[in-house]
Amino acid sequence: MHNIESMPAPVPDPQWLAALQAAANQPPRRARVPLLLGAHLIGTVEPDLLEPIAHLASPRLPKVLQREESTTGLAWRVLGDGTQSLQQIALALREAQLASVPGQWRDEQLAVWSPQGEQLATVERGVARPLGIATRAVHLVGRACDGRYWVQQRALDKPNDPGLWDTLMGGMVSAADTVSTALARETWEEAGLRLESLQGLMQGGRLAMRKPSANSHEGYVEELIDWFSATLPDGVQPDNRDGEVAQFQLLDDAELLTKLHRNEFTTEAALILVAALRAR
| pLDDT tens for each residue of 193-212 | 999 999 999 999 999 999 99
End-of-domain residue from the set 98, 126, 154: 126
* Assigned domain for 9 exists: no
Q: Do 226 and 109 sit in the same domain of this protein?
A: no
Q: Do 166 and 234 sit in the same domain of this protein?
A: yes
User: Any idea how long the chain is?
Assistant: 280
Q: Do 21 and 39 sit in the same domain of this protein?
A: no
Burial of 278 (0-12, 13-18, 19+ CB in 10 A): exposed
Q: Do 148 and 97 sit in the same domain of this protein?
A: no
End-of-domain residue from the set 109, 126, 143: 126
* Assigned domain for 7 exists: no
Residue 53 confidence (pLDDT): 86
Residue 3 confidence (pLDDT): 54
Q: Do 120 and 171 sit in the same domain of this protein?
A: no
Burial letters for 160-191: b for 16+ Cβ neighbours within 10 Å, e otherwise? bbeebbbbbbbbbbbbebeeeebbbbbbebbb
Residue 1 confidence (pLDDT): 46
Among the listed residues 143, 165, 147, the one whose alpha carbon sits nearest the alpha carbon of residue 155: 165
Q: Are the beta carbons of 172 and 209 closer than 8 angstroms?
A: no
Residue 83 confidence (pLDDT): 96
Residue 98 confidence (pLDDT): 75
Q: Do 150 and 239 sit in the same domain of this protein?
A: yes
Q: How many domains does the chain have?
A: 2
End-of-domain residue from the set 105, 126, 147: 126
Q: Which domain holds residue 185?
A: 14-25+135-279
Could you tell me the pTM of the whole model? 0.92
CATH of the domain at 177: 3.90.79.10
Q: Do 62 and 176 sit in the same domain of this protein?
A: no
* Assigned domain for 213 exists: yes
Integer Cα distance of 35 and 46 in angstroms: 10
* Assigned domain for 245 exists: yes
CA–CA distances in Å: residue 214 to residues 29, 96, 103: 11, 21, 14
| Residue ranges in the chain whose pLDDT is less than 50 | 1, 57
